[in-house]
Amino acid sequence: SSLNFQQSYFIRIRYASNGSANTRAVINLSIPGVAELGMALNPTFSGTDYTNLKYKDFQYLEFSNEVKFAPNQNISLVFNRSDVYTNTTVLIDKIEFLPITRSIREDREKQKLETVQQIINTFYANPIKNTLQSELTDYDIDQGG
């Protein structure tokens, strides 16, 4: 008998984009039958000349949702822009499928907890007294978590 084993992956891209903080490119990655993933891209270079980009002009971006594939499953990747900033350029250099192992999952959960703890710590004016900053809003807290 064969097991219906599925491997989980994180998808990471290496890209360059010349948007700005106000005109960030947004891409959607569709894997038909598997996932619909969307992400805003931080600008990585300025100007319109993308013929001489350097290594530093690219960034990695990891989609937040994991995807699962069966062994030998054929997949299609469809990238679409979902922003209106037609004057921005997006160049995708690399698409990586990173297998998720138990140790990777545990490391990521630990990193998430540490990040949340750091965010919580920044919300307190004096960690000794654990007094919340008076100007802190619910929105600030939501954005931190």
pLDDT at 59: 94
pLDDT at 1: 40
pTM for the whole structure: 0.66
Q: Are 117 and 140 in the same domain?
A: yes
Domain region containing 29: 1-100
Looking at residue 17, its pLDDT comes to: 92
93 shares its domain with 123: no
> Can you read off the two tokens belonging to residue 4?
């219906």
Same domain, 38 and 92: yes
Residues 66 and 116 in one domain: no
Task: Give the residue, 24 or 93, on which the prediction is more confident.
Answer: 93
Q: How many domains does the chain have?
A: 2
139 φ, ψ to 5°? -60, -45
Q: What pLDDT score was predicted for residue 135?
A: 64
Query: Taking the alpha carbons of 136, 137, 138, 141 in that order, is the dihedral positive or negative?
Result: negative
CATH number of the CATH domain containing 83: 2.60.120.260
- Predicted pLDDT of residue 93: 94
Q: Clarify whether residues 89 and 112 are in a common domain.
A: no
Indicate if 115 and 87 belong to the same structural domain. Answer: no
Distance separating alpha carbons of residues 2 and 70, to the nearest angstrom: 12
pLDDT in tens, 108-135: 888 888 888 887 877 765 555 555 555 6
